[in-house]
Amino acid sequence: MHPDHEVAVVGGGFSGIGAAIALTKAGIEEFVVIEEGDGVGGAWHWNTYPGVGVDIPSFSYQFSYEQRSDWSRTYAPGTELKAYAESLVDDYGLRPKVRLNTRITSARFDEEHDLWHLATGEGDELTARHVIGATGVLTQPKPPAIAGLEDFQGETVHTARWDHALALAGKRVAVIGTGASAVQLIPSIAPEVRALTVFQRTPIWCLPKLDKPLPGLLRSALARVPGAKWALRAVSQSYVELTFPIAAHYAGVLPLPKAGEAIARRHLRQQVQDPQLRAKLTPAYSLGCKRPSFSNAYLRAFNRANVALETTPIERVTATGVRTADGTEHPVDVLVLATGFKVFEAGNMPPFPVTGAGGGDLDGFWRENRFQAYQGVSVPGFPNFFSILGPYGYNGASYFTLIENQMRHITRCLLRARDQQATRVEVTEAANARFFDEVLSRRGNQVFFQGSCGASNSYYFDVNGDVPFRPASTLEAAWRSGHFDLDDYRFTGADRPAAALIASETASPS
C-alpha cells in the first residue's frame, strides 16, 4: 500500500510552517500541511483580541534563517506575525502543499504497511508514511468551569476567538482571568468601555516591557549592514535565555527569580499608588512558577476610574452579569473570557486520538507512564510519529528556536530512514527511559520544585505534579538535536515491498 504522502504535517502555525521549510531544505518534498483554520499562522491566526502582540522580542521571535528588518516595534503586534506567516508560506512555495479548513479527527498507525491513516472532519482519510504533529499546545480555548455561563443574556467572547463585530464602546465589560492575554487586552479596551470589572483569581507577575517603535534608521541599518541582524539577535537571545530558561531551570543555583521579583515589585510601585490595590496585584508565589507577563500599561490600567479589580471569587454567572461569593451582583453587557487554553492534559497533545503500534493510545500511554517523549519528539510504540512540541521539548525560550531544533532532530531521522529505505522509525524504550530519567534528575534546580509555587495555580503543572518543560539551555537543546545518537531509533521495514516503492518515488534528485 502506497501512502498518499511521505510526510503529513498536522498544523499550519509556525511549527507547521517551520516543519515544511525544514523538510523542503532537506530535500523531502513530498509532504502536505494540514490546517484546521482558514488561514496559516496558528496562534496568530486565531488570537486577534485588542492589544495582541508578542512578549518575546521580535529579534528572537522569528526564524534564524528568515530574520526581518522591518518589525515596527521591538515587540511586534499580532498582525505582523500573521503577515510573517503568510509571507513565509509564499516565499518558500508552500501554498500548494497547505490544505486549509481540514481538521484531523484521529490518527491510526497501520502496522502492516507502516503508515498513518489520518481521518478528517469531512469524513475522508489520507495516509502518510510519517506524521509531524505541529498542533501547538495553546490552541484549544478553555471556558472557565463557572456555573451559569450559558444563562448570560449579554454577549460572551473568548480572547482566542475574538468577535470583531463586537462593539465595546460605552458598555459594561467584565474580563475573567489575568493571564498573558488579559494583560494585553485590559489596557487596550479600558479607555473605550464604560466600566471594566476584572475578575482576578491569581495575580500575575508583571515585568516592564522594553517595547519601543523601531526607527526607520535602525530598520534600514538592519537591512543593509552586514551582521547587524545577527548582532541584535545575539543580544535578544541572551536576554530571553536569561529571563526564562536559565532563570527557571537553574533557580536552585542562581537567584534570578528573586531578582525578577524585585524588578516586578518596583514596577508595581511605580504604576499603582493605592497600597490596597497593590497588595491585591502582588502574587504570593515565586516568579517563574507560572508564566509572567510583560507590560507597561496593564498595572496602571487599574488606576482608571472606570476599571475595578475584583478578587472575591465568582459564585456564578447570571442572566445579567456576575455574582461573587459575597452576594454582590456585577451587572455586565459583555463577558470576556480570558481564561486560557487546555495545556498539559489529555486530548490536547495533539487534539485528536492517536493510536500507535499494537493499538496503544497516546493519551493512555501518558496517563499510565506520565508525560514523556524522547527529547520532546518521539514516544516508543508510536512509530513514524514526531512532535514539535511534545512533553519536555520546550525549554521556555522562543518557540522559533524550539521549532528549528526539533526539526533538526526529525529530519535527521527521516533522512536516515530514506537512506536505509526503512519504512518504520521508532525510538527505543531504552533511549526514551534514559531521557526521562535525565529530565527528572534535573528537577532539583528548577523554580517549579523549590517549594514556592503552591499559590500559583499554574498550568505548567500536570495532574502528576510534573512540569513537562525541558530543563536545558537552548544551546544544549540545539546541540543535542544535531548530535543525538541515531541508534536511539530503530529503522526497520526495508525488506518490505512498500519500502522500495516509497523510497524510489520520493528519493531526492541529489
Which residues contact ligand NAP (rule: CB under 6 A)?
A: 53-55, 138, 144-146, 159, 176-182, 184, 199, 201-202, 291, 314, 338-341, 457, 459
Number of helical (H) and strand (E) elements in the chain, helices listed first: 15, 20
Minimal CA–CA distance to 489: which of 421, 436, 410?
Answer: 410
- Residue number with CB closer to ligand NAP (31 or 46): 46
- Which residues lie closer than 8 Å to 435 by C-beta, 6 or more apart? 372, 374, 375, 392
At its nearest, how many Å lie between ligand NAP and the CB of residue 178?
Answer: 4
Q: What three-state secondary structure class fits 93? A: coil
Contact assessment for residue 173 and residue 196, using Cβ atoms and an 8 Å cutoff: yes
At its nearest, how many Å lie between ligand NAP and the CB of residue 144?
Answer: 3
At its nearest, how many Å lie between ligand NAP and the CB of residue 60?
Answer: 12
Angstrom distance (rounded) from CA 88 to CA 84: 6
How many CB atoms sit inside 10 A of residue 208's CB?
15
- Residue number with CB closer to ligand NAP (43 or 104): 43
For the CA atoms of 63, 66, 67, 72, what is the dihedral angle to 10 degrees? -90
- Residue number with CB closer to ligand NAP (382 or 461): 461
At its nearest, how many Å lie between ligand NAP and the CB of residue 248?
Answer: 13
Longest dimension (CA), the chain: 75
| Strand (E) or helix (H) holding 430 | helix 429-441
Q: What three-state secondary structure class fits 264? A: helix
| Strand (E) or helix (H) holding 18 | helix 14-25
Lookup: cell for 303: 488606576
- Residue number with CB closer to ligand NAP (16 or 340): 340
- Residue number with CB closer to ligand NAP (84 or 365): 84
- Residue number with CB closer to ligand NAP (76 or 222): 76
- Residue number with CB closer to ligand NAP (159 or 411): 159
Angstrom distance (rounded) from CA 133 to CA 349: 8
- Residue number with CB closer to ligand NAP (147 or 430): 147
Minimal CA–CA distance to 300: which of 260, 258, 272?
Answer: 272
At its nearest, how many Å lie between ligand NAP and the CB of residue 17?
Answer: 17
At its nearest, how many Å lie between ligand NAP and the CB of residue 161?
Answer: 11
Q: What three-state secondary structure class fits 277? A: helix
**DSSP string for 221-241:** HHHHSTTHHHHHHHHHHHHHH
At its nearest, how many Å lie between ligand NAP and the CB of residue 226?
Answer: 30
- Residue number with CB closer to ligand NAP (62 or 181): 181
At its nearest, how many Å lie between ligand NAP and the CB of residue 391?
Answer: 16
At its nearest, how many Å lie between ligand NAP and the CB of residue 290?
Answer: 7
Helix axes 216-224, 228-241, angle to 10 degrees: 110
Q: Torsion-angle region of residue 493: left (phi > 0), alpha (psi -120 to 50) or beta?
A: left
